[in-house]
Amino acid sequence: GGDSDDTTTTEAASETTEAPDETTTTEAASETTEAPGETTTTEAMGEFTAVATCFVTDDAGVDDRSFNASGWKGVNDALATGAVAADPIVLESTSAADYQPHVETCLAQGAEHIVTSGFKLADTTAQFAADNPDVQWTIIDFGSLGDNVTGLEYQTDEGAFAAGYLAAGMTQTGIVGTYGGVNIPTVSIFLDGYARGVAHYNEVKGADVRVIGWDVEAQDGAFTGTFDPADPQVRATCESQLDEGADIILPVGGAINLPCGTAIQDRGIEGALIGVDADAVEAMPGEYMDLWLTTILKGIDIQVQRSIEAHASGAPTGGSSSVGNLENGAIGLAPYHAWEDRVPAELAAEVEQILVDIAEGTIDWEKFVVGAG
Amino acid sequence: MSDQPDVPPDDVGDPGPSLMQRITGVGESARRALLLPSLALVLALLVGAVIIMLTDVDAWQLMGTDAGAAIGDMFEGVWVAYRELFAGAFGSVRGISETLFTATPLILAGLAVAIGFQAGLFNIGATGQMFVGGLFATWIALHVTLPSYLHIPLAILAAIVGGGLWGGLAGLLKAKTGAHEVITTIMLNFIAGFFVLWALKTSAFQDEGSNIPQSSPLPESVQLPTIFGDEFRVNIGLFIAIGAVFFIQWLLYRSTTGFEFRAVGSSPGASLYAGMNVAVLITLVMFVSGALSGVAGSTMTLGLPPYRVSESFPGTIGFDAIALALLGRSHPYGVLWSGLLFGALIAGGRTMQAAAGVSVDLVIVMQALIIMFIAAPELVRAVFRVEHGGEAADQVTRGWGA
Amino acid sequence: MTATANPNDMIHVRATPEEKRSTIIGAVLIALGAYIFWQFGLGVEPGLQATFNLSLQTDTVQGLAWVVDPRQFSMIIGVIVAGLGGWRLTRRALQYTNLSLAISFLLLVMAFLAWAAAGSQFSLVGMLRSTVVLSVVVVFGALTGLMCERVGVVNIGIEGQLLAGAFAAVVLSSAFGTAAGVLGGVAVGALLGWLLAWLSIRFQVDQIIAGVVINFLALGLTSLMSARILSEIQTLNAPERIPAIRIPFLADIPVLGAMFFDHTYFVYGMFLLVFGIHYGLFYSRWGLRSRSVGEHPKAADTAGINVYWVRYRNVILGGMIAGFGGAFLGLAQVARFEENMTGGIGFIGLAAMIFGRWLPIGALGAGLVFGLSRAVQQKVAILNTGIPSEFLFMVPYIVTIIVVAGVVGRTRPPAADGIPYIKD
Amino acid sequence: MALELTGITKRFPNVLANDDVSLSVGEGEIVAMLGENGAGKTTLMNVLFGLYTPDEGEVVIDGKPLEFGSPGASIAAGLGMVHQHFMLVPVFSVAENVILGLEPTNGVGWINQKEARRLVNDISNRYNLAVDPDAMVEDIPVGVQQRVEIIKVLIRDAKYIIFDEPTAVLTPPEVEEFFAIVRGLKEDGRGVIFITHKLNEVIEVADRIVVLRDGKSVGEADPKATTQSHLAEMMVGRPVDLVVSKDPAEPKDEVLSVDRLVVLDDRGQRTVEDLSLSVHAGEIVGIAGVQGNGQTELVEAITGMRPALMGNIRVGGVDVTEFTPRQMHHLGVAHVPEDRQESGLVMAFTIAENMVLDSYYDHPYSRGVRMDWGVATDAAERLVREYDVKAKRVDAPVSTLSGGNQQKVIVAREFDRGVKLVIASQPTRGVDVGSIEYIHARIVEERDAGEAILVVSSELDEVMALSDRVLVMFEGRIVGEFDPTTTSTTEIGLAMLGSGGNDE
Ligand SMILES: Nc1ncnc2c1ncn2[C@@H]1O[C@H](COP(=O)(O)OP(=O)(O)OP(=O)(O)O)[C@@H](O)[C@H]1O
Ligand SMILES: Nc1ncnc2c1ncn2[C@@H]1O[C@H](COP(=O)(O)OP(=O)(O)OP(=O)(O)O)[C@@H](O)[C@H]1O
Ligand SMILES: [Mg+2]
Ligand SMILES: [Mg+2]
């Protein structure tokens, strides 16, 4: 098993702290504007001094197929590039009581870089980051919490806005749908941007596309109450939107989009799904391949990877609290894949333009407030 | 229940229970009180070891090429896992602190379930009562400004009221309409969970301008003071839990109310005959039970650094509490010991997860096995060839009888 | 019930419990009727229409719809409900109290939906179909529970049996195909059924403890294996999904077709089990013997029936039903295993069993009430009513409490339920 | 051809219930087995019937050894048993109960209901045992339930039939009917074992008498050549006084008055119907009647445990109709409940705890919310001595006491405080002869001290022996009042069946 390695970890840890490599500082850190899809960070294995890394999930667990999973993937990607020392530790929380001991365990195991996944870990991270200035920290879905903490926040609704516009242009029934796991900001930001994107389409085109599942005014909508895709409730939530005639649906939260895919397939309707986080065509099982119209990319994995790599290359990004968005490439829209031929060129161009406009700030719309911790 | 309520030994002419019995409070003889649980623990560890080995995928993949090394890896895996489990629970001040910290709400919630069992009620609703109690405490924490020595008691009082009302509601429904508490408490768990999720997004709890469902930070005056210094989490909640153990012990065996609780639990017919108000008692028991859960909830809001309340603070404590109460045979002292055992397992399990890569879920399996072996002494005897004690298995709970 | 006329006014005359209940429920219904009239009737702007669609995309007959004026509709319903309440207040025909409640409940749902859909539309048939689907696991759980409790064994481990069944179904299906998966789920359910029976019969372990052990074991083992094995060998968590089977002709019937005749075989299996077990319990040798063991095991024993064997058999059969329900969860929804994927539904099954008074048809009814309240909640979520989603989530649980407290009340479990049978 | 038991020994954890017992029954023979409560009669029969496995001994039926521990095997060997506590499923119909275990099916397992009914009707016609096959067992009177039990045995064509205390639940006329049935069985060539502790019955019907004491067989007797007192002495091991000695009553003021009372049972049926009675200080009023005629509900209504639907109850002039059990307790009403294990005692509690079960909340046993176990224990020790409860320690669970001693715990608790009214329900059910004498004497003593006493018992002999006035209850009403010194049991027995009697 992976047990006899704790000695290696500590060794590696002591090695690196003893000999901090300060040569290759700037390069990797400044390269933050690439689109999250394109993984091009690796120059050469030799450039990194591998750092002992520890990953602490929030109570959703590492296999949530959402931000915890993405973050852990980022750690493993960094492992592949040699930025992370062998056998990074992952500590799964089952409740809020686990956060602190897990972080303490990370420190006790000699972690040099600790990734805390999710806004729920913010306070714990802040406290321990202050007490352990030598350790580098990355927190997902929260702003920076100190000089040694990289905050990864995402203005996801920028991508969702464009996706909403796209969906409004693509729907055949004039109705598009969206639902989430539970009404928490990291989820509802997608729903909000999506609904506003549809509204923008209606405004621009004088169309009357209806969104079901999100009420912009009430900031509330359709939720499954669970992130467990196997709960019959999830599929039923999707079906209830299909029943109303929605044909393009954006489900937000782990894998709760999969049952929706099966529902669309079972009903034999010309429907589509919009994925979230990582390009669904690559991340999700093959049987759903044709369903993904696009994915609203939220580059957690890549940002985590970069943050660790920056550390490993001696240029920690700590203290940065910049929000990932379209402009800096942490947010994006995935290729249309199977839908490439079906999306009219004109619409594709409009969406492209919207992405640019948002990035440049020329579209006027009310953005979702991120973090606000 | 075969446990005899202990009429105070000094009040009865005959030589009372032994010292060991008074300390452990679990059985007729010290031998039985300690031997059986120890053997059960050993057996659970053995089965756990087998499970670790069977699920060691890497080792199994190695099996084809180098069986010797594979088997070696497996044993090594078990050794490291258990070493870390123990070290995480007792190996350092931090470990002990974590064990005690984890045990605190478990003991309180375990008492809640146990007092229900003593009165013939099955409270599956500790989770919901923790939610409501914890939320009430949080409200007081955020909206009242007082010095610590008043603020903390007031917040805990609010937890008692909140948890008590939520538990008492199930009791009242049972007393007035016959709705079975197993159903109502489960449903009230879900309702409370969603209520807290909603409440934490209201301005009464949330930070100004935030949209994250968590409370603003609790003021220092209401944070439960730690015992071994701020770097260790164990706090005065532990004393509250231990105090609750003694209080419930007193309540059950030395007070008229406890006499009534136990009478209703063992024989509703005789309680009615004896002039007790069964409906009021059922409501009251559920109130007390809910209040205990509520206090457990408050230790998870007022006592959990970084002192900011999020929507899942009860975790799985409410369900662990059922196992705990059963393991402690619904006796306050039994709950205390079982709570410490579970606290050690969970705290050690965190370290085990980190150092040995064995998922904390193993702890759940071990909990199940310990309960099973203690509930079926014959199984343990068969394995260890201990002589027959002659006693039948305990019937701790009553069925569905209204 | 009226007393024989009694001129002696010294004599106390008190209400029977049913009469009291009838009065309370009467008052509640009148208040409810008034509320419906005021909120869901007068609360709607005049002239708005609510459209209930009665066709799904998959239906043969398209475009069916039912249009109502929610204002009038709800006002009429309010009057009817209040009328039923008034009738209850008279304390006549006490046997109709529950019926009045049930009718009022359905009318309330209708009025609420009409109010929520005022000026809008939604798919009624979709909601009804969801009702059926959302009740499936609950019903399987309840059937498991009652198979055990009818022979006197309390099974609180349904949750664990469902979970283990789902795990086995997913893993075996991934490795050896769907048939192996379903059979494996059923077999693991049987195994856990046997464990419950063995602990509670052979060792006389308190049955609730035995059930808790099963829940913990199943949760711990499946999570552990998921973390240690499935995450390493992902192909073990990628079974083929079991498709729906559209029943020819029947599925073409408007409304009913979508509700009942276009599902996976698990759903058909559920209906067969419900009716099979129901009639089996009351009209077959198996049922008579099972019930006798649950009511009066000693009487069964003296009639030459092997009480232990009957208990083992039924508890194992119950476990198999849970395993089958687990396979539904694992294979018919998304076809994957997730840690703790049952998320408490087994306990809701347990509640449905009690709520359904230990009758299979009652369990089905209870499951449908639960499913309906969840389906309504989903519809309301997309109608932008302004009710916070968290409160909508509570609806099924609140409904269950109200029904259990108001309608079911004190139920009579099998007399020997939970009591070990000790021969010597 | 015969049924023979040799050297049966059966031990329970603390009891040697059967000690080397041997017994034989031939075809066409009625053997009566006599013995006190707890002598081991039921245990022996349960061994025979496969419910218990004996520690030693063997049973041979018609030459073949019997396999122990399986009622199925015993039934197959030709044994049938009518149990002391009926083995009927209350929520089943008569027919369902009868066919349980040998259900006529259509081959695939569905029960042939018609055939089931036919089977029941056949036997019931042939042996003159009128029952309605479709009635629910819980709805029919005990006497009829017994018929169902007999039909169950006959339908299995048992060659040797055991009746365990069959007459305990029957009225005298019913007992006569029952004897006719037993004689019929004998003529059929069946062997009958008839268990009882009623001496007159044994002499009337048995061919041979076997007496059991303390688990041992203490000898046989010929019914034609023995006397009741001889049998009683064999049974108890010492001479016993079978009559309650008491002076005539001197009734004073009315203490209890019940006026046109109507009470519902758990299922909402009116089981006490327009009932009136009164009890005066210094008299014992007995209520006789077959179990299930509303006595339970009547007592519960009087003692505050069950609401009355209509009518009035007064104690010493106070209207107590709406009183709770505790208020009744305060008023000075003692209650010895019908089922001591269900409502008189908390079986898991100690003797001391049970001694204060209904006065724990008050001085001197508690102060405020604090129990004073010292005082309670002292009181319990005194009561145990005074009322001759055979217990080693008062902190032992009451469940470790024998039935008679459990009953004495209740009697001690209820009689020890000064009361004006005693309601005693089945005060000596399942209690040994020694304890019966003691409890009866205590009751008479209380009467002589000027208390009003209401005794409810389904043992007609007990009511006759104890009461100064006997009321007979039938279907919720008082159907007759008798003076026990001048009335015959037969007359009262007829009233208990609802026929005859002198309605007021
Ligand atoms: N299951 C048991 N466990 C322990 N002791 C038992 C059990 N059954 C009976 N006994 C004891 O065995 C003895 C014989 O009991 P048994 O029931 O055979 O008496 P009985 O002669 O039938 O009395 P009764 O006239 O009251 O029916 C009693 O002391 C009784 O308490
Ligand atoms: N079911 C049982 N399980 C264990 N012990 C029992 C059981 N029934 C009776 N006993 C024990 O058997 C003994 C005799 O009890 P039981 O009431 O049957 O005796 P008894 O001879 O009828 O007494 P009494 O003559 O006073 O009525 C007691 O010690 C009692 O604890
Ligand atoms: Mg996990
Ligand atoms: Mg007997």
Q: What is the pLDDT of residue A153?
A: 87
Instruction: Identify the residue with better confidence: A95 or B291.
Output: B291
Distance of CA C252 to the CA centre of its chain: 26
Distance, in angstroms, between B262 CA and closest chain D CA?
9
Does B contact D via 3+ CB–CB distances below 8 Å?
A: yes
| Residues in chain B whose Cβ is within 8 Å of chain D | 1, 4-5, 7-8, 11-14, 254-257, 259, 262-263, 266-267, 269-277, 390
Contacts of B394 in chain C (CB under 8 A): 206
Residue of B nearest to D340 (CA): B270
Three-state DSSP state, D367? strand
Class of domain C130-404: mainly alpha
- Name the closest residue on chain B to residue A100, using Cα atoms: B305
Task: Quote the tokens at residue D218.
Answer: 């203490």
Q: Which residues surround ligand 3, an ion (CB under 5 A)?
A: A 61; C 227
Across the interface, whether the CB atoms of D101 and C300 are under 8 A apart is answered yes
Residues D166 and D95 in one domain: yes
What is the Cα–Cα distance from B268 to B119, expressed in whole angstroms?
9
Mutate to test the interface with D, among B2, B4, B7, B276 (most CBs of D within 10 A): B7
pLDDT per position as a tens digit, B325-375: 988 888 999 999 999 999 999 999 988 887 787 888 888 998 899 888 888
Ligand 1 lined by D17 (C-beta under 6 Å): yes
Tell me which of D383, D417, D451 is where a domain ends.
Answer: D417
D350 shares contact with chain B (CB less than 8 Å): yes
CATH topology of domain B30-62+72-386: ABC transporter involved in vitamin B12 uptake, BtuC (1.10.3470)
Q: Let me know whether D221 and D247 are in one domain.
A: no
CATH number at residue D300: 3.40.50.300
Q: What is the ipTM of this complex?
A: 0.84
Q: Give CA–CA dist D97/D136, Å, rounded.
A: 9
Does the structure show a pLDDT above 70 at B386?
no
Neighbours, chain C (3 or more CB pairs < 8 A): A, B, D
Q: Are D324 and B275 a contacting pair at CB < 8 A?
A: yes
Of A64-73, B27-36, B318-327, D77-86, the least confident: B27-36
Phi, psi of C335 (to 5 degrees): 60, 60
Same domain, D211 and D293: no
Which pLDDT score is estimated for A97?
85
Chain C residues within 8 A of A236 when measuring between CB atoms: 130, 133-134, 374-375, 378
State the distance from the centre of ligand 2 to the C-alpha of D165, rounded, in angstroms. Answer: 18
What mean pLDDT is predicted for residues B144-170?
A: 96
Cα–Cα separations (whole angstroms), residue C277 to C139, C147, C169, C321? 12, 9, 24, 11
Same domain, D106 and D16: yes
Atom of ligand 2 nearest to the CA of D36: 25
**pLDDT of D473 strictly over 60:** yes
Q: How many CB atoms lie within 10 A of CB C399?
A: 20
For residue range A291-344, what is the model confidence (pLDDT) as tens digits?
999 999 988 888 899 889 989 988 776 676 667 888 878 899 999 999 999 999
Residues with Cβ within 5 Å of ion ligand 4? D 42, 84
What residues in C contact A212, CB-CB < 8 Å?
382
Cα C207 to averaged position of ligand 1 atoms, centre (Å)? 27
CB-nearest to A127 from B77, B306, B355 is: B306
Beta strands D15-26; D477-482: pairing state: unpaired
- D482 touches D452 (CB < 8 A): no
Contact (Cβ atoms closer than 8 angstroms) between residue B205 and residue B137: no
pLDDT-above-90 percentage for chain D: 53
Verify whether the Cβ–Cβ distance D51 to C17 is below 8 Å.
Answer: no
Percent of chain C surpassing pLDDT 70: 96
Q: How many CA atoms lie within 13 A of C294 on its CB side?
A: 30
Residue A366 touches chain B, beta carbons under 8 Å:
no
CB A84, CB A106: distance < 8 Å: no
List Cβ neighbours of B189 (8 Å cut-off, separation of 6 or more): B124, B125, B127, B128, B131, B318, C344
Q: What is the DSSP string of D263-305?
A: EE-TTS-EEEEEEEEEEETT-EEEEE--TTSSHHHHHHHHTTS
Which residues lie across from D278 on neighbouring strands?
Answer: D257
Question: Are D291 and D372 found together in one domain?
Answer: no
D40 lines ligand 1 (CB under 6 A): yes
CA dist., res. C296 & res. C292, Å (int): 6
Q: For ligand 2, atom 8, name the residue with the nearest CA.
A: D402
Give C241→chain B minimum CA distance, Å: 26
By Cβ distance, the residue of D53, D83, D96 closest to C288 is: D96
Separation of alpha carbons C173 and C242, rounded Å: 10
Residue nearest to ligand 1 atom 8, measured at CA: D43
D15 within ligand 1 shell (Cβ under 6 A): yes
**3-class DSSP string for chain C:** CCCCCCCCCCCEECCCHHHHHHHHHHHHHHHHHHHHHHHHHHCCCCCCCEEEECCCCCCCCCCCEEEECHHHHHHHHHHHHHHHHHHHHCCCCHHHHHHHHHHHHHHHHHHHHHHHCCCEEEEHHHHHHHHHHHHHHHHHHHHHHHHHHCCCCCCCCHHHHHHHHHHHHHHHHHHHCHHHHHHHHHHHHHHHHHHHHHHHHHCCCCHHHHHHHHHHHHHHHHHHHHHHHHCCCHHHHCCCCCCCEECCCHHHCCCHHHHHCEECHHHHHHHHHHHHHHHHHHHEHHHHHHHHHHHCHHHHHHCCCCHHHHHHHHHHHHHHHHHHHHHHHHHHHCCCCCCCCCCCHHHHHHHHHHHCCCCHHHHHHHHHHHHHHHHHHHHHHCCCCCCCHHHHHHHHHHHHHHHHHHHHCCCCCCCCCCCCCCCC
pLDDT digits (tens, 9 = 90+) for B239-262: 999 999 999 999 999 999 999 999
- Does residue D135 sit in the same domain as residue D215? yes
D292 CA from centroid of ligand 4 (Å): 21
Task: Return the percentage of chain A with pLDDT > 90, whole number.
Answer: 45
Digit-coded pLDDT (tens) for B92-125: 998 999 999 999 999 999 999 999 999 989 898 9
Are B210 and A373 in contact (CB < 8 Å)?
yes
Of A10-19, D146-155, D173-182, least confident by mean pLDDT is: A10-19
How far does the CA of residue B341 sit from the closest CA of chain C (Å)? 16
Q: Whose CA is nearest to atom 23 of ligand 2?
A: D402
Q: Provide the pLDDT for residue A266.
A: 86
Among the candidates D186, D207, D236, a domain finishes at D236
**For position A37, what pLDDT does the model report?**
43
Residue B306, preceding peptide bond in cis (omega within 30° of 0): yes
Inter-chain contacts counted by CB atoms under 8 A, chains B and C: 178
Claim to verify: residue D428 and residue D303 sit in the same structural domain: yes
With respect to residue D339, please indicate whether it lies within any of the assigned structural domains.
no
Q: What's the pLDDT score for residue D29? A: 94
Instruction: Please report the pLDDT score of residue A322 as a whole number.
Output: 61
C179: tokens are 């048939």
Phi, psi torsion values for A179, nearest 5 degrees: -150, 165
Contact D51, D214 (CB under 8 A): no
- Give the sign of the dihedral formed by CA A327, CA A329, CA A330, CA A333: positive
Instruction: State the nearest Cα–Cα gap between C24 and chain D, in angstroms.
Output: 18
SS3 D478: strand
Question: What's the mean pLDDT in B181-209?
Answer: 90
- Flag whether A touches C (3+ CB pairs, 8 A cutoff): yes
- C131 half-sphere exposure, CB direction, 13 A CA radius: 21
Longest pairwise C-alpha distance within chain A: 66
Q: What is the mean pLDDT of chain A?
A: 83
Give the mutation candidate from A91, A173, A243 for the C interface (greatest C CB count, under 10 A): A243
**Side chain identity, residue C288:** L
Our count of domains for chain D comes to 3
Nearest to D395 among B7, B273, B277 (CB): B7
Structure tokens at A147: 């000089």
Beta strands in chain A (DSSP E): 53-56, 89-91, 113-117, 136-140, 149-154, 175-180, 210-212, 214-215, 220-221, 248-252, 272-277, 292-298, 323-324, 331-333
Strand pairing category for D15-26 and D2-12: antiparallel
Task: Name the residue in chain A with its Cα closest to that of B209.
Answer: A372
Judge contact between A156 and A278, C-beta under 8 A: no
CA C302 to ligand 2 center in whole angstroms: 22
Top-confidence residue, C282 or D166: C282
Q: Is residue D69 located within the same domain as residue D172?
A: yes
The three-state (H, E, C) secondary structure of D402-422, written as one string? CHHHHHHHHHHHHHHCCCCEE
D and A make contact (3+ CB pairs below 8 Å): no
Domain boundaries of chain B, sorted by first residue: 30-62+72-386
pLDDT classification of D491: cutoffs 50, 70, 90: confident
Distance CA C341, CA C164 (A): 10
- Please give the pLDDT value at position D35: 85
The whole-angstrom distance between D376's CA and the closest CA on chain C is 33
State whether residue D100 sits within 8 Å of chain C by CB: yes
Chain A contact partners (≥3 CB pairs within 8 A):
B, C
Please say which residue of D393, D417, D441 terminates a domain.
D417
Across chain B, what does the average pLDDT equal?
86
pLDDT at D60 over 90: yes
CA distance B155 to B307: 14
Peptide bond into A88 cis (omega under 30): no
pLDDT score of A268 more than 90: no
CB neighbours of B155 closer than 8 A, spacing ≥ 6? B137, B138, B140, B141, B144, B222, B298, B302
Going by alpha carbons, the residue nearest to atom 9 of ligand 2 is D402
**pLDDT of B402 over the 70 cut:** no
Starting from the edge strand earliest in sequence, which strands make up the sheet with D2-12, in order?
Answer: D15-26, D2-12, D56-61, D64-65
Exposed e or buried b per residue across C253-286, where buried means at least 16 C-beta atoms within 10 angstroms of its C-beta? bebebbbbbbbbebbebbeebbeebbebbeebbb
Domain of residue D447 covers 241-332+418-504
Within 8 A of C11 by CB-CB distance, chain D residues are: 259-260, 310-312
Q: Are residues D175 and D259 in the same domain?
A: no
C50-53, strands of its sheet edge to edge = C65-68, C50-53, C120-123
Burial of A252: CB neighbours in 10 Å, binned 0-12, 13-18, 19+: buried
Give the residue carrying structure tokens 């169309």. Answer: A207
Collect all residues with Cβ–Cβ distance below 8 Å to C405 and sequence separation of at least 6: B173, B176, B177, B178, B179, B184
Q: Report the 10 Å Cβ neighbour count for D497.
A: 19
- Domain limits of chain C? 15-119, 130-404
Task: Say what the pLDDT of residue D223 is.
Answer: 87
C144 pLDDT above the threshold of 90 = yes
Closest to B163 in 3D by CA, of B354, B300, B55: B300
pLDDT band at C206 (very low <50, low <70, confident <90, very high): confident
- Summarised one tens digit per residue, pLDDT across range C284-337 is 999 999 999 999 999 999 998 999 999 999 999 999 999 999 999 999 888 889
d(CA B290, CA B160): 8
